[in-house]
Amino acid sequence: MADTDPAVAGISARADAFRMLADRHIDTSYRLAHAILGHRAEAEDATHDAFLVAWLNWTTLRDRSLVEHWFDRILINTCRNQLRQRARWRTHDLPPDLPLTTPDALGPLHERSLLWPAITQLGADQRIVVALRFYRDLSVDEIAARLDVRPGTVKSRLHRALRELRSTLDEADPKRTLR
């Protein structure tokens, strides 16, 4: 009976652990990327790119219990980079009658049709904290840990983002009541 090469066994164990990560986090990762980026194709690209970066850097993860936190930072940084690249590109608005695809948790169709364009107007840092707070349902302290910033910074970004959203939504639909 031939002994298994330790290097091959190590790669196999790494691949199995990574496959478990991908299986558990791909859906929530895609939804977070979509919440940040607002475009299906970009969210798919960002999720793919983040998993690739995670695979290439798997050996840098020291504490496997923090894998979700570690991967979220990779995904958020990937989304942030895409937002920066997008700011450099010239874009054309989609027709206003094009149906938006956003998570059902946002409420009635009318509110979603107003909310999503308002979210896309936020800056990258504000959009990221809104996505982590309301799409991932993370606390301020959890967001701060994932972004490696102080909780006060997260609160400030959330406050400014919500103020901008209220203002944008009030301009779009003065009859709307934000709860």
Contact 116, 106 (CB under 8 A): yes
The pTM assigned to this predicted structure is 0.61
State the CATH number of the domain containing residue 105. 1.10.10.10
Count of domains in the chain? Answer: 2
Q: What is the pLDDT along the chain (179 residues), one digit of tens a residue?
A: 455 666 556 567 778 877 887 888 889 999 999 999 988 999 999 999 999 999 888 888 888 788 888 999 999 999 999 988 876 665 555 566 655 554 444 445 445 567 778 888 888 899 999 989 988 889 999 999 999 999 999 999 999 999 998 888 888 766 655 44
My answer on whether 23 and 105 are in the same domain is no
My answer on whether 39 and 68 are in the same domain is yes
pLDDT per residue over 136-174, tens digit each?
A: 889 999 999 999 999 999 999 999 999 998 888 888 766
**Last residue in a domain, options 91, 125, 150:** 91
My answer on whether 25 and 84 are in the same domain is yes
My answer on whether 16 and 33 are in the same domain is yes
Closest by CA to 119, choosing from 161, 179, 57, is 161
Domain range enclosing 4: 1-91
